[in-house]
Amino acid sequence: MQNSAGPVPRAVVTLEGLRRLIPLLERRGYQVAGPTVRDGAIVYETLKKLEDLPAGWTDEQEAGRYRLKQREDAALFGYNVGPQSWKKFLHPSTIELIHIERNGEGVRVLNQSSPPPHYAFLGVRACELAAIRVQDRVLLEDRFADPVYASRRRGVFMVAVQCTRAAPTCFCASMQCGPRARQDFDLALTEIADKGRHLFVVEAGSAAGAEILREMDPREASPALCQEADEAVERAAVQTRQMDTAGIRDLLYQNFEHPRWDHVAARCLTCANCTMVCPTCFCTVVEDVSDVTGSHAERWRRWDSCFTQAFSYIHGGSVRPSVKSRYRQWMTHKLASWIDQFGSSGCVGCGRCITWCPAGIDITEEVRAIRGGSATSSRAL
Ligand code: SF4
Ligand code: SF4
């Protein structure tokens, strides 16, 4: 992939043209993953055909609330981000690291994991591309690269989808992470599904993307259609929620004892949902498991969360025993110490932690309260 910062000629592709995309990718050896409806949510799964996409579905999101509902059209990408992110594939929630067998001939360490698929991601939003960049920095480009992430991340073919609507929980625009995908994609689609039309304005961001686009029966996109597509994305930049990031690192460092931490601690259930759904959270724990015969042992890595007491358990106790200390750790890491560690914010403004928090805790509101502005939530202590 390459950056496409400058203007790029765009093509228009019909629904029938788009139907070719999954087979074209499969023919090149990719396993295509993308959005589909399951269990009342839009999740990311392996896709085999265009009909697997969530045609005609959209979502309603607010703090602590997510519902699917039918759209009046058959748009394939007429929803915002759901509970899962692409870290499901790149940084899986559980993975076996080592598998050991002992028999009469001795101990054998087996390489349990088969090579990961060659992924193509279909339907990646701008905030999600930004989140993958954040995880690349942490898991690939820091002092030690994670071999699991590296093997899965290598050569992913990215099909971005430009957002033409923002959920009330989105604040990517204020984090400079969306709604327009500008880089790190092979193809970027803007869907137009109205007035009897169902079209995709497509831009290629790499030679591999251009090659596939040529096989999707592209037509030249007129300036008027390109402008219409651009205006739809610009409308998605008008977002209800914002985060004021000016001086946020120092703001949080200087407010360790702000009374707002007690306020949020009284509501937080320490359920860890926010860290599970967050596309940039990366913390894990490693567990060894053996059977009673002593002939079989496994080492597993699974996602962990700074919201559990066990996460900071050392020398017979937890470093962060209170809810207040754990929420403060999460938010201060995400928005302040992440900058010191990795040179960027750990938040891309996707809004997942707001939607999927059962207590409706809103990170933008918590920042505003610490800054001294008015808190807008009606949720009381
Ligand atoms: S902290 Fe919340 S809004 Fe920010 S990237 Fe994580 S889930 Fe998205
Ligand atoms: S902030 Fe919300 S989602 Fe996160 S741990 Fe607390 S209750 Fe759970």
SS3 78: coil
Is the separation of the CB atoms in 180 and 5 below 8 Å?
A: no
Distance, CA of 62 to CA of 77 (rounded, Å): 19
Q: What angle do CA 269, 272, 277 make, to 5 degrees?
A: 130
d(CA 134, CA 126): 13
Among 128, 116, 118, 141, residue whose Cα is nearest residue 185? 128
Ligand 1 geometric centre to CA of 30 (Å): 29
pLDDT for position 109: 87
Task: List the residue whose alpha carbon is closest to atom 4 of ligand 2.
Answer: 274
- Sign (positive/negative) of CA torsion 202, 207, 209, 212? positive
Whether the Cβ atoms of residue 192 and residue 13 lie closer than 8 Å to each other: no
Q: Measuring CA to CA, which residue among 80, 85, 287 is closest to residue 179?
A: 80
DSSP type of residue 310: G
**Are 164 and 236 within 8 A, CB to CB?**
yes
Residues in Cβ contact with 337 at an 8 Å cutoff, skipping those fewer than 6 apart: 249
- Averaged over successive runs of 10 residues, the pLDDT of the chain (381 residues) comes to 55 98 98 98 98 98 98 97 98 94 88 85 98 98 94 97 98 98 97 94 97 96 96 97 97 97 98 98 96 92 96 93 98 98 97 98 98 53 30
- Smallest Cα–Cα separation from 93: which of 292, 247, 276? 276
Domain ranges across the chain: 10-96+115-236, 248-285+303-371
Residue of 263, 264, 274, 327 to test ligand 2 pocket, by largest number of atoms within 8 Å of CB: 274
In the 8-state DSSP scheme, what is residue 99?
E
In the reported structure, the alpha carbon of residue 348 is separated from the centroid of ligand 1 by a whole-number distance in angstroms of 6
Whether ligand 1 lies within 6 angstroms of the CB of 361 is answered as: no
Task: Answer whether 362's CB lies under 8 Å from 63's CB.
Answer: yes
pLDDT of residue 153: 97
pLDDT score of 317 = 93
pLDDT at 3: 44
Q: How many Å apart are CA 218 and CA 143, to the nearest integer?
A: 43
Closest by Cα among 268, 234, 249 to 360: 268
Please state the atom number of ligand 1 nearest to the C-alpha of residue 127.
5
The pLDDT score that the predictor gives to residue 294 is 87
Ligand (nearest to CA of 281): 1
What pLDDT score does 9 carry?
A: 76
**What is the spatial distance between Cα 148 and Cα 136, in angstroms, rounded to a whole number?**
12
CA pair distance 252, 246, nearest whole angstrom: 11
What pLDDT does residue 34 have? Answer: 98
Measured by CA distance, the residue closest to atom 8 of ligand 2 is 271
330 lines ligand 2 (CB under 6 A): no
Q: Atom 2, ligand 1: which residue's CA is nearest?
A: 353
**Parallel, antiparallel, or unpaired for β 317-318 and 313-314?**
antiparallel
Q: How far is CA 206 from the centre of its chain?
A: 22
Rg (the chain; Cα; Å): 22
Confirm or reject: Cβ of 265 under 6 Å from ligand 2: no
Helix residue spans in the chain (DSSP H):
15-19, 21-27, 87-90, 126-139, 147-153, 207-214, 223-236, 248-253, 260-265, 273-277, 323-332, 338-342, 352-355, 363-371
Task: Give the atom of ligand 1 at the shortest distance from the alpha carbon of 334.
Answer: 1
Cα 15 from Cα 13, distance rounded (Å): 7
